[in-house]
A and B are shown apart, each in its own frame.
Chain A
Amino acid sequence: MLARSLKVLGVGLMAVLCLSFDPAWTNPYDDIPASWPKPLYAFANNPLTPNKVLLGRMLFYDPILSRNGQVSCAACHAPHTAFAHTDHKLSHGIDDQIGTRNAPALQNLAWQPYYMWDGAVHHLDAQALAPLTHPKEMGETLPNALRKLRQSPKYTTAFAQAWGDTLINASRMLKSLSQFMLTLVSTQSKFDKIQSKVPGYAFSPAEAHGYALFQQHCAHCHPAPLFTTYQFENNGLQPDSLLQDRGRQAISQRKADAYRFKVPSLRNVEVTAPYMHDGRYPNLAMVLYHYTHNLHASVTLSKALRKPIRLSETDKADVIAFLTTLTDDTFLRNPNFQYPRQALLGRP
Chain B
Amino acid sequence: MCWVQLFWAQGAAPLTMQFQLYDQAQPLPPRTWVALPEGARARIDVCKIYLSGFAYADAQGEQLLTQPQAVLVDFFTPETTQLQLPIPPANCQHLILTQGITPALNDAGIGEGPLDPAKGMYWTWETGYIHCKIEGQWQQHGRTTPFTLHLGGFLPPLQSAQRMEWPLPSSNGVWHTTLDLHPLLLALLHQPKRDLMSPSAAAVALSQTLAQCWRVR
Contacts and interface: CB of A to CB of B under 8 A. Distances in A.
A130 B109 contact: no
A174 B117 CA distance: 10
B146 to A, nearest CB: 21
Contact of A120 (B110, B125, B200): B125
Interface string A224-258: 00000000000000000000000000011100000
A261 B166 CA distance: 42
Contact of A174 (B106, B110, B128, B158): B110
5 contacts: A121-B126, A122-B127, A122-B128, A133-B124, A253-B199
Interface in B147-163: 154-155, 158
B78 interface: no
A132 B109 CA distance: 17
A169 B109 CA distance: 15
Contact of A132 (B108, B112, B116, B124): B124
Nearest to A130: B124
A18 interface: no
A133 B117 CA distance: 12
Q: For the complex, would chain B's binding face be called helix, strand, loop or mixed by DSSP majority?
A: loop
Contacts of B117: 126, 129, 142, 170, 174
A125 interface: yes
B84 to A, nearest CB: 24
B124 A126 contact: yes
A189 B145 CA distance: 59
B122 interface: yes
A169 B127 contact: no
A157 B215 CA distance: 49
A175 B117 CA distance: 13
Interface string A119-149: 0111111110110111000000011001000
Contacts of A45: 108-109
B109 A124 contact: yes
Interface string B102-140: 000011111110001110001011111000000000000
A151 interface: no
Contacts of A130: 124-125, 127
A42 interface: yes
B125 A175 contact: no
Given A129-B117, A170-B116, A120 B126 contact: yes
Nearest to B110: A125
A121 B110 CA distance: 12
Nearest to B124: A129
Interface in A161-176: 169-171, 174-175
B114 to A, nearest CB: 12
Of A42, A124, A170, the most chain B CB neighbours within 10 A belong to A170
Contact of B127 (A126, A132, A170): A126
Interface string B177-188: 000000000000
B155 A251 contact: yes
Of B109, B116, B118, B122, the most chain A CB neighbours within 10 A belong to B109
